[in-house]
Structures are given as C-alpha cells and as structure tokens.
Amino acid sequence: MSFSQHLRQLAKPSWDAQLSHPFVVALGNGTLPEQKFKYYILQDARFLGDLSRVFAAGAMKAPDSESALRLAKLAEDTIVVERSLHENYGKRWKLTANQMSSVPMAPTNYAYTRHMLSVAQNGSAAEILVVALPCAWIYCVVGQYLLRKGPPPKNHPYRDWLMLYASPEFAEVQRWMRKKVDQWAKTAGTDEKRRMEESFIISSRYEWMFWDMAWKEEEWPV
C-alpha cells in the first residue's frame, strides 16, 4: 500500500462521511438552497487565498526544481480560481471583489486555514503537500461520485461547480500531489511521517466540517 493510500485509510471515517453529508447530497441533486451555496462560495474564496500561500510555501521548501515549479504553478492556479469565483459569482450576486474578499472567515474556515498555514510555516515540503492533499483529493472524489451516473442536465443550478471538480484536469492535480507524497515519504523519518499522518487526518476532518459549516451557515457565536 502506498503512503497516500495509508493516509486515506487512517482518515476513512471522515472520508466516508463526506459523500452522505446533506450539503453534498443537495449540491449533487440541485436542491441546495442558493443562500447556502452563496455562503459556501464566499467562504471558499477566502479559503483559496490562504491555500495559495500554503502552495507557495511548499514551492520554497521543495527539494527539487521540478516540484518547486509545480507547486508555484498550483499557487498561481489557486489564485486564478479565486479570482474567477469573484468575477463569475460576483456578477451573479452583484458583489464586488472587495466585498467578497472582506467577508469575515467563519470559525471553521479560520481554524482550518490556520492549521494549514501553521504546517506551511513549520513543516517540510512533504508535510505541506500532505496538509493540502485532502482538499484536492476529497473534492475529486466528491465530484466524480456526484457525476457517477453522467453529467448533470444543462439546467442544473450547480453544473459548473460539478463539472470542474469531476474534470480530468482537476483529477490530475491530486494524482501529482499523491505521487510526490509517496515519493517523499520514502525518505521521511519516523517523526515526520507521524506529523504527516496527523495533519492528513485533521485536514480530512476539516473538509467534512467545511460542508457542515456551509450547511449551517456558521457564524461566530459572540
């Protein structure tokens, strides 16, 4: 078993729970209230801003130039996706980019991104890839699962989102990340592997919590 598959097995309970979460189910069948989707997109745009910083940190710590270039490209691509969210959904909801980027982070989003940024600051390149891997891998799994019976109809309200995360291009991202994690894990020490396992499990739990945050439209209690 590869190290990335080992990580997925460790996080199996939270991975299995992703596909049955009411937000994911409603997103797939098109019954998700637009207000919940709007909340999710606004939080996701904030999340992606920090994820790009995580990839940039990985590029700085990468042990080889090919990996550094690919991580730098992932950082750039993440910013491009964030901007496209601002442009496409900003027009739809009549929000400027500044208005979208000034939406306060919800508690779960804040905690998840602080978790990733902490690893980005203190961890190795392998640890940085691992802390971000559940995001890319789970979205690929969710996208492909929701479209397992074929593409959504043209009038599906969330067709664009579903088509993006079920696309071969997005699947290639997580395949590359898994390949690098497997490669770097071979030379990682016992303590580093333990940290990688812990980070992967925590990020996987936060991925489920992110759906739950959007479903409940989570706010700070005080």
Instruction: Count the neighbouring beta carbons within 10 Å of the beta carbon of residue 95.
Output: 17
Half-sphere exposure at residue 8, Cβ-oriented, CA atoms within 13 angstroms: 19
pLDDT in tens, 134-185: 999 999 999 999 999 899 999 999 999 999 899 999 899 999 999 999 999 9
Mean pLDDT of 2-18: 97
The dihedral sign for the CA sequence 89, 96, 73, 119? negative
Output the pLDDT for position 39: 96
Cα separations (Å) of 36 from 10, 27, 145, 163?
Answer: 30, 10, 21, 19
All structural domains of the chain with their residue ranges: 3-215
What six digits make up the tokens of 2? Answer: 């590869």
The hierarchical CATH code for the domain 3-215 is 1.20.910.10
Residue predicted with more confidence, 94 or 129: 129
Q: What's the predicted TM-score (pTM) here?
A: 0.95
Give pLDDT, residue 127: 98
| The pLDDT of residue 87 is above 90 | no
Cβ–Cβ < 8 Å for 83, 45: no
**Beta carbons of 181 and 133 less than 8 angstroms apart:** yes
How far is residue 113's CA from residue 54's CA, in Å, rounded to a whole number?
9
Taking only the tens place, the pLDDT of each residue in 33-54 is 999 999 999 999 999 999 999 9
Mind telling me the catalytic residues? 135, 207
